[in-house]
């Protein structure tokens, strides 16, 4: 069984763990920093862990693609897989901790106006105090209650918010961090009572522009929006208008319809908008990389033993 | 009993609560936005709630000064009180929530390098991912375990740090948010095992320059420092050197030896330093103002009934 690992950030300890697991199931390994370095011998590999879409598009022998990301939207385009039966797993579960920290950080930056004070200080100005808001007594709505939403809710709880409401397709969540769970078709009735809206949704046909212009208008004046899922979920033009008018208190976007954000995009100049370059969850944090590799090794053992894979993507739901 | 309230941020609800309490104990009230507006009739007042230092310096009749701040260092200079027997109370307990949020926010900004990414985005640049650190598995040392340190520890706990060690004069704390409590004379042995040092100390003769050049050198490479107590606690020159050399990972200072920070201060240009203009705890946050007023009213009732005052400052300890 030929296994290709594509990841330039792996350390020797990660490689050692992967080697040990591969040896247990009789796999032969190739480590490369990028997909272009795959040797001819491994071009017909059975398993790839990493972003191996070029290989997947021509390798009919590829049976399992394990991607280190949580989102998999980029795999649902025509022609991605030469073998349409190829299994896909993602790394959902590796990003909850890091993205939750990002959400807490940017929420507090906005609500406490630290973004503006910091910006002033970079320019050498000691700015005057302004009105601040707090996670304390805040009404939080979490749209998308997967690993990321749950890890965030668990941390947000310690700040004594008024309530944390979770919203998912089913209206259910096994995690106990939410005060109440609601179905996504109740969203319109929840938005008017939301001070902080946190969005951690995958990109699927159902989630595109879910935060539409009309829903943005349902949020109360001064509300804050954070998006760490996929940029497709928000009507960016309508959000920018609401921010520029001063109706919303602020927004923090880590994901965008087009990434990197084009140089001439109107979002760069939008008022009270914190832009971060898709850094809420990436493998430059040790915890995330370690967990990502451990999850792959667990799954490689499953694969080798013919057991069901964890994090298997449902190609109909697209997540 | 003449009572002067100096606070331009008070809303009608706050005034109503104060009026009701004053009526209960037979007090007559004057509300002013600033000390300069005190009328001749109230110049010999018995009680001031607010920053009333000019009056205190000449009013021999002043028996109780209740300041809305937690720090009281500015009251221990010669000539502040015409009546040396004047009681002083502070508002410790009103600031824990807001300052804890500040500490979490700036810690995450530094550790996750959001400060740099945000700064790039303000200039229209989509920056590349860099190495990040996390509160997860972080070894946190909290120097000063009063209300602020405890509120922070309680929130930090939710981020799953490796350990939270509290350090106080006595080595004791009634709060259970710390994994372990140590005496301040053990500080030198604790610093080498600290990833994040949080300082929330009052300004007293014992705390001045407590984070000296030699102690800064005891912190491990890449450690982070947050100060929300008083600027006097840190050797600012030594800290800046360590940051500019890249030995420390970062620092976030909300308090300084001189405030506002002078225009030509070397700190403005120090590398990996987040400067905020003493905004971690102020009355522009509703929760803080509400609690501050409630605490004063509770104490005014105590005062009127001859009961001991809460938050009475020990003039020997100066806190």
A274 at interface of B, judged by CB pairs closer than 8 A: yes
Per residue in B237-262, pLDDT tens? 999 999 999 999 999 999 999 999 99
Alpha helices, DSSP H only, in B69-146?
Answer: 96-111, 114-122
State the Cα–Cα distance between residues B299 and A301, nearest whole angstrom: 65
Per residue in B56-81, pLDDT tens? 999 999 999 999 999 999 999 889 99
Same domain, B174 and B270: yes
Per residue in A144-161, pLDDT tens? 999 999 999 999 999 999
Same domain, A246 and A262: yes
Sorting pLDDT into bands at 50, 70 and 90, what band is A84? Answer: very high
State the Cα–Cα distance between residues B307 and B299, nearest whole angstrom: 9
To the question of pTM greater than 0.90 for the whole model, the response is yes
**CATH code for position B298:** 3.40.50.720
Sorting pLDDT into bands at 50, 70 and 90, what band is A174? Answer: confident
Q: B159, A160: Cβ pair inside 8 Å?
A: no
Which residue of chain A is at minimal alpha-carbon distance from B129? Answer: A279
Same domain, B33 and B21: yes
CB B52 within 8 A of CB B6: yes
Closest to B126 (Cβ–Cβ): which among A133, A154, A277? A277
Same domain, A100 and A88: no
Please calculate the CA angle B274-B277-B282 and round it to the nearest 5 degrees: 120
- Which residues in chain A belong to E strands, given as ranges? 2-6, 28-32, 47-49, 64-66, 87-89, 139-143, 163-168, 180-183, 196-199, 224-227, 250-253, 273-275
The total number of residues written for chain A in this structure: 319
CB B258 within 8 A of CB B284: no
Alpha helices, DSSP H only, in A127-261?
Answer: 147-157, 187-190, 213-218, 236-244
A84 to chain B, closest Cα gap in Å: 33
Nearest by Cα to A154 from B150, B100, B155: B155
Start-to-end CA distance of chain B, whole Å, equals: 27
* B312 is a domain residue: no
* B319 is a domain residue: no
B266 at interface of A, judged by CB pairs closer than 8 A: no
Q: What 8-state DSSP symbol labels residue B312?
A: B
Same domain, A101 and A237: yes
Which residue of chain A is at minimal alpha-carbon distance from B128? Answer: A277
Q: How many CB atoms neighbour CB B122 within 10 A?
A: 15
State the Cα–Cα distance between residues B91 and B313, nearest whole angstrom: 10
State the Cα–Cα distance between residues B72 and A214, nearest whole angstrom: 50
pLDDT in the model for residue B318 = 84
CB B27 within 8 A of CB B2: yes
pLDDT in the model for residue B317 = 86
Confidence check: pLDDT of B174 > 90: no
Q: In percent, how much of chain B has pLDDT > 70?
A: 100
State the Cα–Cα distance between residues A312 and B164, nearest whole angstrom: 38
DSSP secondary structure string for all residues of A59-102: -TT--EEE-SSS--GGG-STTS-SSTT-EEE--TTSSHHHHHHH
Q: A158, B154: Cβ pair inside 8 Å?
A: yes
Same domain, B87 and B101: no
Enumerate residues 234 to 263 of chain A having a beta carbon within 8 A of any beta carbon in chain B. 259-261, 263
Contacts of B254 in chain A (CB under 8 A): none
Same domain, B215 and B237: yes
Confidence check: pLDDT of B139 > 90: yes
Buried-state track B287-306, b at ≥16 Cβ within 10 A, e below 16: bbbbbbbebbbebbebbbee
Based on the structure, what is the number of domains in chain A?
2
Contacts of B120 in chain A (CB under 8 A): 277
Same domain, A45 and A118: no
Which residue has 């920093």 as its token pair? A33
User: What are B38's two structure tokens?
Assistant: 């005190």
* A313 is a domain residue: no
The whole domain housing A261 covers 96-275
Question: What are the backbone angles phi and psi of residue B113, rounded to the nearest 5°?
Answer: 60, 30
Same domain, B143 and B258: yes
pLDDT in the model for residue B247 = 98
Sorting pLDDT into bands at 50, 70 and 90, what band is A300? Answer: very high
Burial class from Cβ neighbours inside 10 Å (0-12, 13-18, 19+) for residue B62 reads: buried
CB B211 within 8 A of CB B234: yes
B9 at interface of A, judged by CB pairs closer than 8 A: no
State the Cα–Cα distance between residues B1 and A63, nearest whole angstrom: 85
Q: B132, A284: Cβ pair inside 8 Å?
A: yes
Same domain, A161 and A290: no
A61 at interface of B, judged by CB pairs closer than 8 A: no
Closest to B102 (Cβ–Cβ): which among A112, A136, A137? A112
Contacts of A275 in chain B (CB under 8 A): 118, 121
């Amino acid at each position: 069984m030929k296994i290709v690992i594509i990841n330039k950030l792996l350390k020797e300890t990660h490689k050692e763990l992967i080697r040990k697991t591969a040896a247990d199931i009789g796999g032969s390994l190739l480590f490369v920093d990028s997909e272009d370095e795959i040797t001819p011998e491994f071009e017909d590999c059975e398993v790839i862990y990493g972003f191996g879409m070029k290989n997947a598009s021509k390798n009919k022998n590829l049976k399992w693609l394990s991607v280190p990301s949580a989102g998999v939207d980029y795999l649902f385009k025509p022609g991605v897989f030469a073998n349409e039966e190829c299994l896909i797993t993602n790394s959902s579960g590796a990003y909850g901790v890091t993205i939750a920290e990002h959400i807490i950080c940017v929420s507090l930056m906005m609500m406490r106006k630290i973004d503006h004070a910091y910006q002033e200080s970079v320019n050498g100005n000691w700015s005057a105090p302004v009105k601040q808001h707090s996670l304390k007594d805040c009404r939080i709505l979490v749209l998308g209650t997967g690993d990321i939403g749950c890890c965030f809710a668990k941390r947000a709880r310690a700040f004594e918010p008024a309530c944390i409401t979770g919203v998912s397709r089913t209206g259910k969540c096994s995690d106990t961090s939410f005060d109440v769970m609601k179905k996504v078709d109740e969203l319109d009735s929840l938005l008017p009572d939301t001070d902080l809206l946190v969005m951690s949704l995958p990109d699927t046909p159902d989630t595109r522009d879910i935060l539409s212009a009309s829903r943005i208008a349902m949020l109360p004046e001064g509300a804050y929006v954070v998006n760490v899922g996929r940029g497709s979920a928000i009507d960016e033009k309508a959000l920018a208008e609401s921010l520029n008018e001063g109706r919303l208190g602020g927004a923090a976007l880590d994901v965008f319809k087009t990434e990197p954000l084009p140089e001439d995009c109107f979002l760069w100049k939008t008022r009270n908008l914190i832009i971060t370059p898709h850094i809420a969850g990436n493998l430059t944090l040790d915890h995330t990389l370690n967990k990502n590799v451990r999850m792959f090794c667990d799954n490689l053992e499953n694969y080798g033993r013919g057991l069901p894979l964890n994090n298997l993507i449902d190609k109909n739901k697209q997540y």
